Structure 1
């Protein structure tokens, strides 16, 4: 199993993609995003998968994409915000941590996440009242993020490059 060096997880607006790209650039590792894998494999956007096929179908595709990425990618891996919801994915992340992967929870406050997320319709779980939906998601997901994380970085007042530097420092500690 080629375990990723870094696996980034967190809620919408935490910076998983932008930090992933910055971390890959600073370490010379390849970057991969499981949401991009799901979209490419399905031939449609995440929002379209949710609308046409439903959340359960999306989560099935996401679970398979994470399993493939963890098994084959040795660089920086950014997960979709809800990827950690499936027990099989949680077990896989625990195994990856045991094999040396840094499982990084990118934590962020609603205040900092709001301008990053906006009212983006490509985020189907935040439709309606995005702030309340985000808070509800975080209430349910925070315990899982915290349990799985080998490192937590609050991204509120940091640029992606600064977050990447904090992650690298933490991995060396």
Structure 2
């Protein structure tokens, strides 16, 4: 991918970190389109991402994510919110390297307070705290590595988070 092609901003972070909420606000402020990669996966495969992981297994699911991301990145020049696990898929960090990526960081206690998170992600059952703790431990180093900036979201108003995300963007 040639530098300058693809999304103007890519948001990464765990489920419930606010990628879709902040992504829509950022797209509106920047006057560009917004795309949620989980929606792209569902449109492509006819099922929600969590169901696809169960159906195909993690390894095949990540291959499908990579294949779709290769097609989506050059087509979209707005804001892209990736699925929580997408940056962990083999080859994805390299795809993200030329793009501006912001990691929306959130701690375990704040994640557990997010309404509807467990219902949206049934794989968190029967012990959401243990699953989320493990997920954050495994993924945080990857999110940090692929991101140009990290924005803390714990207990913050979306507009305040948006300001920090926009302030972290390179001058265009």
TM over 0.5, shorter chain: yes
Q: Map 1:10-25 to 2 at 5 A.
A: 10-25=13-28
How many residue pairs were aligned? Answer: 168
Cα–Cα, structure 1 residues 86 and 119, in superposed 2: closer, same or farther, change >3 Å? closer
Task: Return the alpha-carbon distance in structure 2 between the equivalents of residues 119 and 154 of structure 1.
Answer: 18
**Counterpart secondary structure, 1:87:** coil
Cα–Cα, structure 1 residues 58 and 113, in superposed 2: closer, same or farther, change >3 Å? same
More helix by share: 1
Cα deviation, 1:87-122, whole Å, max 9, x if unaligned, reads: 31011111x2xxxx3210100011111121655243
Counterpart in the other structure of 2:155: 157
Q: Map 1:1-173 to 2 at 5 A.
A: 1=1, 2-94=5-97, 96=98, 101-116=99-114, 118=116, 120-172=118-170
Query: RMSD in angstroms over aligned alpha carbons?
Result: 1.8
Cα–Cα, structure 1 residues 46 and 117, in superposed 2: closer, same or farther, change >3 Å? farther
117-126 or 55-64, which deviates more: 117-126
- TM, length-normalised to structure 2: 0.89
- TM, length-normalised to structure 1: 0.88
**Counterpart secondary structure, 1:112:** helix
Ranges in structure 1 where 5+ consecutive residues have no aligned partner: none
Ranges in structure 2 where 5+ consecutive residues have no aligned partner: none
